[in-house]
Amino acid sequence: MSASLSSGSCPPGSSPVRIIPLSVVGSANPASAGGCATATKGGCGSGSSAGLPQHIRDKVHDHPCYSAEAHHHFARMHVAVAPACNIQCNYCNRKYDCANESRPGVVSEKLTPEFAAKKVLAVAARIPQLSVVGVAGPGDALANPEKTFRTFDLIKAAAPDIRLCLSTNGLALPDHVERIKALGVDHVTITINMIDPEIGAQIYPWIFFDHKRYQGVEAARLLHERQMRGLEMLVAEGILVKVNSVMIPGINDRHLVEVNEAVKSRGAFLHNIMPLISDPAHGTHFGLAGQRGPTPAELKALQDACEGDMQLMRHCRQCRADAVGMLGEDRGAEFGSAAIDAIAAEIDAERMNEARSAYRSFVARERADQSAAADAAKAQVASTGETRLVAVATKGSGRINQHFGHAEEFQVYEVSAAGAKFIGHRKVSLYCRGGFEDEEAMPGIVEALAGCAAVFVAKIGHCPRKDLAAAGIEAVEDFAHEYIEASLIDWFAQSVANARTIAA
């Protein structure tokens, strides 16, 4: 059933991969970025985007954040070219990444636009899954507009098949929509945590706007007005907008349902409600004040309450402002300055383009296979009203392909007659360290998997299997290296049938 990775033509209708040597990029005129647009046409749809209009499906098809299904196959990278910020959030410490789009952690290197473009080519040469480059900090992309737009100009000229993505707090957004549109950036994230300035004043102590510092409710009102205007302007231009919201228990948790309504009514495409990361060690106001983040159950309940006719993102990994790789992994350490220089010196543009094209052809076949397998499996469970929560160890590609002991997170799915729906991920400590089993990690892993009926793995040892069984969690190895969705549904059908037999 699985297709092999081989060279071939692009998937039907996808844009041809074209990487242009950096020597040419260096001379690009920033005011008139060359290169063709990155929009794809056609291509196979994914389960999650099947009901969308074609022009939207084209935009989300290979974006790992805008499509949960695409995140199994495609990677993103952030270039940390935007150090300054124009507001203060109580969950942010300037020494750390932008918490809007990252977990707190220092950015290892701030980049110039020129070096950022070089890094993008180096990463594209090593990671054929790379489909999107974002500017997400470490400050605010639009508080540093010249660096951000110069970076996009250079990337667009050098690697026109890579999508451009931008994340902002929205304060400066209305001033830049025209430029965003002209550059072909068709994915913009705005972090919107409130529509009520009284609540906003508890999240934002100040903003800096039009050469003046504003505080309290006045600051929050101004920010809110600018965010809404920016959102409406982007939607009017046909740009896909994702709204990120940080869930802060006791401050905006209930209020985020109203935020969801407000952004949905203005045409936002996707809502990503993320948990507050709060730790005194990060030195943030909330961290030092003891403000807690939500539990996984609280987060899921809010996401469920907001999920109606608007897409909810549940696979966000709150990545660093210099993250590189598939969501949930960070290969940034492989791309320090010296490594980038070395890779750039040996890039063969033609070979790289062939490898990227071959990967896209491979993924197109895999996705078609996976979708057909899931549809076939679903037919077995059409009549049941039951659901099961299950966890999966995966390294990507939409397959159950990771050993239990190597997992640093498990993907969690809700399986029912409707299929297998990705609902989140649970981070855990490694069970296997340098070939040794870390028994002390097991209670934390069992706790993280609470509520799951089974955990699907490529392999698992006797001891952890026993510990999981004692907690009522079945370790399933039978589907090692198979497609996730179809396997879960197969197992679910069997599980429901067994339960019925026992009940009878």
Q: According to CB under 6 A, which one of 87, 319, 349, 374 is a site residue for ligand SF4? A: 87
Spatial strand order of the sheet with 454-456 comes to 419-427, 409-416, 388-392, 454-456, 474-476
Residue (113 or 139) nearer to ligand SF4, CB: 139
Residue 134 binding target from ligand CLF, ligand SF4, none, CB below 5 to 8 Å by type = ligand CLF
Residue 139 binding target from ligand CLF, ligand SF4, none, CB below 5 to 8 Å by type = ligand SF4
Question: What gap in Å lies between CA 145 and CA 83, rounded to an integer?
Answer: 11
Span near ligand SF4 by CB under 6 A; candidates 105-113, 135-143, 348-356, 376-384 = 135-143
Tokens of 282: 């990060």
Question: What gap in Å lies between CA 400 and CA 59, rounded to an integer?
Answer: 27
Tokens of 106: 């220092």
Residue with tokens 């397998």: 373
Q: Let me know how long the chain is.
A: 504
Q: According to CB under 6 A, which one of 10, 65, 92, 199 is a site residue for ligand CLF? A: 65
Q: Which of 45, 19, 17 is nearest to 364 (CA)?
A: 45
Strands 436-437 and 454-456: unpaired
Q: According to CB under 6 A, which one of 14, 40, 46, 88 is a site residue for ligand SF4? A: 88
Q: Contact 391/455 with Cβ under 8 angstroms?
A: yes
Residue with tokens 């990463």: 123
Q: Contact 277/247 with Cβ under 8 angstroms?
A: no
Question: What gap in Å lies between CA 69 and CA 362, rounded to an integer?
Answer: 15
Helix axes of 113-126 and 145-158: crossing angle, nearest 10 degrees: 40
Contact set for ligand CLF, span 325-384 (CB under 6 A): 327
Contact set for ligand CLF, span 147-186 (CB under 6 A): 165, 167
Q: How many residues bind ligand SF4 (CB under 6 A)?
A: 12
Residue 33 binding target from ligand CLF, ligand SF4, none, CB below 5 to 8 Å by type = none
Residues 161-180, one symbol each (x = binds ligand SF4 by CB under 6 A, - = not), give --------x-----------
Strands 187-191 and 206-209: unpaired
Residue type, 64: P
Beta bridge partners of 201: none
Span near ligand SF4 by CB under 6 A; candidates 97-105, 369-377, 399-407, 479-487 = 97-105
Residues 448-487, one symbol each (x = binds ligand CLF by CB under 6 A, - = not), give ----------------------------------------
Residue (75 or 480) nearer to ligand CLF, CB: 75
Q: According to CB under 6 A, which one of 134, 139, 184, 405 is a site residue for ligand CLF? A: 134
Backbone Cα Rg of the chain:
23
- Contact between 319 and ligand SF4 (CB under 6 A)? no
- Contact between 203 and ligand SF4 (CB under 6 A)? no
Q: Write down the least CB distance from residue 335 to ligand CLF, Å.
A: 16
The one-character DSSP state at 72 is G
Residue 327 binding target from ligand SF4, ligand CLF, none, CB below 5 to 8 Å by type = ligand CLF
Q: Write down the least CB distance from residue 80 to ligand SF4, Å.
A: 11
- Contact between 85 and ligand SF4 (CB under 6 A)? yes
Residue (87 or 136) nearer to ligand CLF, CB: 136
Residue 140 binding target from ligand CLF, ligand SF4, none, CB below 5 to 8 Å by type = ligand SF4
Q: Which residues of 90-129 are buried (b: 16+ CB within 10 A; e: fewer)?
A: bbbbeebbbbbbbbbbebeebbebebbbbbbbbbbbbbbb
Region of residue 140 (phi > 0: left; psi between -120 and 50: alpha; otherwise: beta): beta
Residue (123 or 358) nearer to ligand CLF, CB: 123
Residue (24 or 84) nearer to ligand SF4, CB: 84
Q: In whole angstroms, how far apart are CA 70 and each of 40, 86, 393, 397? A: 14, 33, 17, 9
Residue 87 binding target from ligand CLF, ligand SF4, none, CB below 5 to 8 Å by type = ligand SF4
Q: Write down the least CB distance from residue 295 to ligand SF4, Å.
A: 22
Question: What gap in Å lies between CA 465 and CA 175, rounded to an integer?
Answer: 57
Q: According to CB under 6 A, which one of 15, 46, 100, 151 is a site residue for ligand SF4? A: 100
Residue type, 316: C
Judged by the rule CB under 6 A, the positions of this chain that interact with ligand SF4 are: 85, 87-89, 92, 98-100, 137, 139-140, 169
Judged by the rule CB under 6 A, the positions of this chain that interact with ligand CLF are: 65, 76, 78, 101, 132, 134, 136, 165, 167, 187, 189, 242, 272, 316-319, 327
